[in-house]
Amino acid sequence: MRWEDATRWMGTMVLLGVASLSILAVLFIFYFIAKEAIPFFAVRGFREFFTSPEWYPSGHPPRFGTAAILYGSALVTLGAIVVAVPIGLSAAICLSDLLPFAVRQAAKPIVELLAAIPSVAYGFFALVVLAPLLQTRGGLLFRTVVWAIGAPVGAILALMLSQTISLRFPARWQRGAGLVLLAGLGLAAWALLRSLAGRAGQLTVESGTNALNASLILGIMALPTVVSVAEDALQAAGREIREGSYALGATRSETLLRVVLPASLSGLAAAVILGVMRAVGETMVVWMASGNAAQIPRPWYNVLSPVRTLTATIAGDMGEADHVTGSERYAVLFAMALTLLVFSLLCNLVGEWLVRRSHRRWSGG
Amino acid sequence: MNWKTIGTATTVAALLASGKTNAQEKIVIDGSTTVGPIAKAFAEYYMERNPGVAISVSESGSGNGAKSLINGACHIATMSRAMKENELAAAKEKGVTPMAHVVAMDGIALIVHPSNPVQGLTLEQVRNIYKGLVTNWKELGGPDRPIVVISRDTNSGTYETFEELVMKKEKMSEKTEYVGSNGAIRQRVLTTPAAIGYVGLAFMEGVKALTINGVEPSAETVVAGTYPVARPLFMYTNGKPEGHVAAFLGLKDTKDGHRLIEEIGFVPLRPKVAEMPKTP
Amino acid sequence: MRSFSSRHLLDHAFSGLSYLSIGFMVAALLVILGPIAIRGIGAYCFRGTIEFRLFVLERFHRGSAERIGEELQVARRAREPLYEAMRAFEADLENDPALRRKLGGDYRQFQTAVRELLGPLPWDPAPLLMRQQYGQTRWDRALIKQRKALYREEWDYSDPSRMGVQVWRPRRVHYQGTRLEPAFDQLEHRLAEMLRPRWTFYGRFLTDPSFDAHFFGGIWAEVLGTLCLTLGAMLFGVPVGLLSAIYLAEYATEGRLMHLLRIFINTLSGVPSIVFGLFGMAFFIHTLGVTDSKSVLAGSLTLALLILPTLIRASEEAIRAVPAAYREAAFSLGASRWHTVTTVILPAALPGILTGTVISLGRAAGETAPIIFTAAVSLGEPLAWRRLLTMPTPALPWNLYNLSTEHAAVDEIRHVQYGMALTLVALVLALNLAAILLRARVSRKLRG
C-alpha cells in the first residue's frame, strides 16, 4: 500500500515538474534577457536609450538612442491596427451574427488560412510584389483605394443623411426632398472623393519599403487574431440580450451597435490589444519591407518614409554585436529585447484579463 | 548546479544519439556577405572533390564571423575588413590567435540605377550624400528627385570599410535605409530609380557603377591602386590551419581558385598583386 | 419597399460592410497567395531547354544519355553558323585594331550574352563556376538573354528634368558589313532550334540538392532541414506539452498553483518570436552549450519552446472534452488514475491532441526568427544521418529570406525563391488543412 501511494505521489510530482517547465521557461527567458540587458542600463542609463533618436551603434563615440526605433515600431503597429481593427471587427460581427451557420463554418477556414501563412511568405510578398508596385504604381494604387473605400461609404452616408433630413419635411414633400437631398449629397461626396483621389494619385512613393508597406501586411497578419478574439467576445455576450433587443423591435444593426457591442467591449478591447501584440512582435515582414531607416518621419504621420522597428534591429544587428568585445552593442540588443518582452507581456496579461472579464460577465446567465 | 555539467550531459546524450563525427570532416564558415560567394563557390568545389567533408556557410556579417571565430563556433571567419583592436584583444583573452589570409582584392563601387544620368562623383560628394547634406539629384546635375540613400547594416565589413574610407568616420544621415547584404543593395538599386548604394565588385551586374574621382571601379583599377575605395578580403583562422581547412584555404592560390574568384567578379591575388601598396 | 426607412438602410449598410470585410480577407488571401502559387508552380513546371536536360544528365544521371546526346548534336548543328560568324569576326578583331577600337567593347557584351544563353563557346576554356558551364536552362530566361544579345540597352539622358529613358537599340546596326552580321539572324530566328525547349515537369525540384548557390538543382537541403527542425520540435515539445496538459486537466486541483501555471503558460505564448531566438542562442548555445555553434538540436529546442503553449492548450482542451462518463466508468472498475488516463482518456482525446499538434507543427515549420541564431545557415550539405543533430542546416523560411535579399543574383533565381515560397506555404497549409479536417471529424463524432 505505501509503495503504491509513494509511486502515485512521485508520478504526480513528475507530472507537476514537467508542467512547471513552462514556468521555468518563462523565468529563464526573463532572466537571460535581463541578465544581458541590465549591464547596458547600468552603464548607459535609461535616458539616452528611451529619448534619443540617434542610433549609431558603431559610431565614434557610439550612440544607442532607440527613440526613433521605438517610434518606428509604434507607427507600424498603429498602421496595422488601423487596417486590422475595422475590417476585423466587421468580419467578426459578420461571422457571429450575420452569416448562417453553414457559411460560417466555411468562412472560418479563410481566417485560419490567413493565420497559417508563414511570416516570411508575407515578407517575401511585401518585398517582391508590393514594394515595386508601390514604387511604380503608387499613385494609381492610392487613387483606387480612395475610390474603393470612399464610394460605398459615401453612398451609404448620402442615403442615410438624405433620409434622416427628409423626415423633417412635411409628409407630402418627403420623397421629393429625399431625392433632391440624395442628389445633392451624392454630388458633394463625389466631388470630395475626386479631389481626394486626385491628391492621392499625385503622391509618389520613392521607396517601396516603407512604413505603409509594413503596416498593410502586418494588418493582414493581425486580422485573424482580431477576428477570432472579437468573435469570441461577441459570442460570449450571449443570445439573451440579442433576443431581448429583437423583441423590442430593434433591427439587426441597432441590436449590434447599441446592445451587443457595448456588452462585449472588454472582449473587443482584448482583441485590439492582442492584435497590437501580434504586430509588435513580428520580425520578418518588417525586416524585409520597412526600409530600416532609424528616423522619425517628417511629418510624424508620413507613412511613405522608411522606418526601423525593434524586432528588425535585433535581427539585423546581432551579427556585429560580440558579447565579448563590443559588449555595449550586444547588451543594447538585449535591452531592446527586454523592452519588447515587457511590452508584449503587458499586452498579453491585459488582453487575457479583459477576455476573462468579458466571459465572466455574461456567463452568469 | 553547474551549467556546464548539464550542458555536457545533454551534449553527450545528443552526441551518443547522433554519433560524433571527426572534427576534421566538418568545416563551419561564417561571416561576410561580400566574401560569401567566394566561400560558397570554394565550398562546392571542395566538397565535390572531397565527398566526406561537410562545409556549411553562413553569411551574417563580418562582425559575426569574427565573433564566431573567437567563440570557437566556426573554423573560418570570412571578413571584408581586418579584425579590429578590440576583437584581437578578445581573441587573445580566449586563447584564440586569429591568422589572416587575404583571399582576394575588392573595390567598393557606388551604384545607381541605370536610368540615372549622373556618371560620376567625387569622394566628397558621396560623403555629403550619405551625410544627408545633399538630398536631391538635381544638386548633382541630375533630375529633380530626392535621393534614396541605401547602406549596409552596421554588422557589415563593407559598411565599416565604407565608413572608414569614404565617410571618414562621420555619421550617416538618419534617412539612410539599411539592408543586410550586397545582394540586397543591388536589388534595391535595381528597382528604385532614385537610389544610390555601395557594393563589392562582384555585385555590379545590371546596375550603373559611378566613377569616383574620375576612376571607374574594376579589377584593373583595383589592381593598379587608382580606385580610391579598395580593400582586401580576408579569411581568418584560429592559428595555422591544418588538414581540410588548410587545403580549403589553399584553394585561393591555385589556378582554379583564381578562376573561380575572377568568375565571381573579384580580383584574385596573383604574385604581383600581393605587392600592391596598402590602401590609406 | 415603400418607406426607405433609414433604420433599415443602416441595417443593410451594416450587413453590406461586414460582408465586404469578409470579401476583403478573401481578396487578401488571393492577392498574397496568387503570385506565390502561380510563379511557384513555374519552378516545378516550365519550358526547359537542352541545357537543362544536359545538366540533369551530367549531375543527377537521370535521363537517356542516347537521346540527349542526339538532341545535343542537333542543337550544336543549329548553333554552328552562329559560332562560325563569331569565330570569323574574332579573327577580324585580332587583325584590325581600328575595328577593335570601334566594336571591341560592344562585341564583348555580345559574347557574354551568347555565353549566358548557350553556354561556353566551343573555343573557350572550361569554366569552373557551374553557372558558366551551362547555357540557360529555362526558356523564359533564355528569351530575356536573347534580348540582351540582340539589343543594346541604352539610356536616353537627353531630358535633364527626368530620369533617363530606357531604349533598346538593335545591335546589328553597328555590325553591318562585318562578318558577324549573319549571327544576328541566326540568334533571332533559330534560338528554339539551338536550345530545343520542351515543357518539363521538374518534380524533383523538391528532392534535388542545389548547385552553385541555387542556380541549378532543387531545394532538398532546405526541405530536409525544415522537416528535421519540425520533427525535432515535435520530439521535444509533444511529450512536455502532453504531460503538462494531463497534469492540468486530470491531476491539478483548482487553486493558486494551477492559476499560476496558467498565467505562465499564457505568458509564454506572448513572447515575441525573435526573443525566443535570442534566448535560444543565449541559453542553449552559449550557456548550456548543447552544441558549440548553430545546430538542429538548438533550433529544435527553441522551436519546441515556441509551440509549447499551443500544444498544452490544445491537448488540455481535448482531454477536458472527453465526457466525464468515461472517467467515472473507469474509476468504478477500479482503475488507477494514471491507468485511466493512458488507456481511456488519451485514446479518446487523441484526435483533438493530433489537431493541436499538427497546427503547432505548421507554425514551427514556418517560423524564421527562432532559427536565425540557433540553426540556420545559407549554404550547407543536406543533413546526413550521422550528423543530424549537431550540424546547422538550411531551412525553407530562412533561405527564402536569404535568397530574396542577400543572394548575389537575386533576379536570376527568382523562380527558385517562388518555388521555395510555394513549397513552404503548401507544406504549412497542408498541415493546417489536415488539422481542420481532423477537427471536423472530431466534432462530428462528438455530436453524432
- Mean pLDDT along residues A177-205: 87
Summarised one tens digit per residue, pLDDT across range A254-305 is 888 888 888 888 889 999 999 999 999 999 999 999 988 888 988 888 889 9
List chain A residues with CB under 8 Å of C397. Answer: 118, 120, 284
Q: What is the mean pLDDT of chain B?
A: 83
Q: Which chain C residue has the Cα nearest residue B22?
A: C387
Asked if B263 and C164 come within 8 Å (Cβ–Cβ), the reply is: no
Q: Are B107 and B200 in contact (CB under 8 A)?
A: yes
| A80 confidence band (pLDDT: 50, 70, 90) | very high
Got the DSSP string for B134-179? --BGGGGTS-S-B-EEEEE-TT-HHHHHHHHHTSTTPPPPTT-EEE
**Number of helices and strands in chain B (H, E):** 11, 12
Q: What is the mean pLDDT of chain A?
A: 86
Radius of gyration of chain A (CA): 26
Summarised one tens digit per residue, pLDDT across range C383-418 is 777 777 888 889 999 999 988 887 777 788 899 999
pLDDT at B275 over 50: no
Neighbours of B236 (CB within 10 A): 26
pLDDT at C422 over 80: yes
Got the DSSP string for B187-243? HHHHH-TTEEEEEEGGG-TTSEEPEETTB--SHHHHHHT-SSSEEEEEEEEESS--H
Q: Are B60 and B31 in contact (CB under 8 A)?
A: yes
DSSP-assigned letter for residue A349? H
- Mean pLDDT along residues C136-146: 92
Query: Hey, what's the cell of A204?
Result: 509618389
What was the pLDDT predicted at B271? 63
pLDDT at C179 over 80: yes
Q: Does B136 touch chain C (CB under 8 A)?
A: no
Asked if B191 and A131 come within 8 Å (Cβ–Cβ), the reply is: yes
The C-alpha atoms of residue A256 and residue A263 are separated, in whole angstroms, by 10
Instruction: Please give the torsion angle defined by the CA atoms of residues A170, A173, A174 and A178, in that order, rounded to the nearest 10 degrees.
Output: -140
Detail the DSSP E strand segments found in chain A.
55-56, 63-64
Radius of gyration of chain C (CA): 31
ipTM for the predicted complex: 0.90
Nearest alpha carbon to residue B102 among B266, B228, B280: B266
Q: Give the gap in angstroms from C-alpha A282 to the nearest C-alpha of chain B.
A: 18
What was the pLDDT predicted at B2? 54
pLDDT at B279 over 70: no
**CATH placement of domain A33-114+214-363:** 1.10.3720.10
Neighbours of A22 (CB within 10 A): 25
**Chain mean position to CA A116:** 17
Q: In sequence order, what are the residues at sequence separation of 6 or more whose Cβ sits closer than 8 angstroms to the Cβ of residue C255?
A: none
Secondary structure in 3-state letters for A231-245: HHHHHHCCHHHHHHH
Nearest by CB to residue A288, choosing from C272, C277, C401, is: C401
Summarised one tens digit per residue, pLDDT across range B178-233 is 888 888 899 889 888 899 999 988 888 889 999 999 899 988 888 888 898 888 99
| DSSP element (H, E) containing C95 | helix C65-95
Summarised one tens digit per residue, pLDDT across range C75-117 is 999 999 999 999 999 898 888 888 888 888 888 889 989 999 9
Q: Give the gap in angstroms from C-alpha C122 to the nearest C-alpha of chain B.
A: 18
Angle between helices C181-189 and C139-150 (to 10 degrees): 160
Chain C (344-383) residues lying within 8 Å, Cβ to Cβ, of chain A: 359, 362-363, 365-369, 372-373
Query: Hey, what's the cell of C377?
Result: 545557415
Q: Give the gap in angstroms from C-alpha C157 to the nearest C-alpha of chain B.
A: 6
Q: Which chain C residue has the Cα nearest residue B2?
A: C288
Asked if A93 and C9 come within 8 Å (Cβ–Cβ), the reply is: no
Summarised one tens digit per residue, pLDDT across range C80-89 is 999 999 999 9
- Mean pLDDT along residues C303-314: 93
| DSSP element (H, E) containing B100 | strand B98-112
Summarised one tens digit per residue, pLDDT across range A218-260 is 999 999 999 999 998 888 888 888 899 889 988 887 888 888 8
- Mean pLDDT along residues A353-359: 82
Give the global pTM.
0.89
Q: Are B8 and B223 in contact (CB under 8 A)?
A: no
The C-alpha atoms of residue C24 and residue C18 are separated, in whole angstroms, by 10
Question: Which residues in A have their CB inside 8 Å of a CB on B?
Answer: 53-60, 68, 131-132, 135, 206-209, 287, 291-295, 305-306, 308, 316-326
- First CA to last CA across chain C, in angstroms? 44
Query: Hey, what's the cell of C445?
Result: 463524432
Neighbours of A334 (CB within 10 A): 26
CA-based angle A55:A33:C234, to the nearest 5?
120
pLDDT at B13 over 80: no
Q: Where are the alpha helices (DSSP H) in B19-50?
A: 36-49
Nearest alpha carbon to residue A152 among A98, A90, A72: A90
- Mean pLDDT along residues A183-189: 87
Nearest by CB to residue B59, choosing from C291, C378, C381, is: C378
The C-alpha atoms of residue B218 and residue B214 are separated, in whole angstroms, by 13
A·B CB contacts under 8 A: 100
Backbone angles phi, psi at B152, to 5 degrees: -80, 155
The C-alpha atoms of residue C248 and residue A11 are separated, in whole angstroms, by 14
- First CA to last CA across chain A, in angstroms? 46
Q: Do strands A55-56 and B120-121 pair parallel, antiparallel, or not at all (unpaired)?
A: unpaired
DSSP-assigned letter for residue C152? E
The C-alpha atoms of residue C367 and residue C352 are separated, in whole angstroms, by 23
Q: Which chain A residue has the Cα nearest residue B59?
A: A319
Q: Are C397 and A287 in contact (CB under 8 A)?
A: no
Detail the DSSP E strand segments found in A17-71.
55-56, 63-64
Query: Hey, what's the cell of C321?
Result: 472534452
Neighbour subunits, B (≥3 Cβ pairs < 8 A): A, C
Q: Give the gap in angstroms from C-alpha A17 to the nearest C-alpha of chain B.
A: 17
CA distances from C191 to A267, B222, C76, C273 (A): 65, 38, 11, 50
Q: Which residues of C262-283 are buried (b: 16+ CB within 10 A; e: fewer)?
A: bbbbbbbbbbbbbbbbbbbbbb
Q: What is the largest CA-CA distance in chain C?
A: 105
Angle between helices C65-95 and C181-189 (to 10 degrees): 160
Summarised one tens digit per residue, pLDDT across range B74-109 is 899 999 888 888 888 888 888 899 999 999 998 899
Neighbours of B128 (CB within 10 A): 18
Chain A (330-349) residues lying within 8 Å, Cβ to Cβ, of chain C: 333-334, 337, 340-341, 344-345, 347-349
**Chain mean position to CA B275:** 22
What was the pLDDT predicted at B42? 92
Got the DSSP string for C169-216? EEGGGGGTTSTTHHHHHHHHHSHHHHH--EEEE-GGGTTSPEETTTTE
Q: Does B192 touch chain A (CB under 8 A)?
A: yes
The C-alpha atoms of residue A98 and residue C14 are separated, in whole angstroms, by 10
Q: Are A123 and A284 in contact (CB under 8 A)?
A: yes
CA distances from C83 to C72, C78, C113, C141, C377 (A): 15, 10, 13, 21, 42
| B22 confidence band (pLDDT: 50, 70, 90) | very low
Question: Please, how many CA atoms are within 13 Å of residue C259, restricted to the half-sphere of its CB?
Answer: 5
Q: What is the mean pLDDT of chain C?
A: 87
The C-alpha atoms of residue C31 and residue A133 are separated, in whole angstroms, by 13
Phi/psi-derived region of residue C153, left when phi > 0, alpha when psi is between -120 and 50, beta in every other case:
beta
DSSP-assigned letter for residue B25? G
Query: Hey, what's the cell of A338?
Result: 527586454
Q: What percent of chain A has pLDDT over 70?
A: 96
The C-alpha atoms of residue A94 and residue A97 are separated, in whole angstroms, by 6
Q: In sequence order, what are the residues at sequence separation of 6 or more whose Cβ sits closer than 8 angstroms to the Cβ of residue A195?
A: none
Q: For chain C, which domains are there?
A: 47-200 (no CATH), 220-447 (1.10.3720.10)
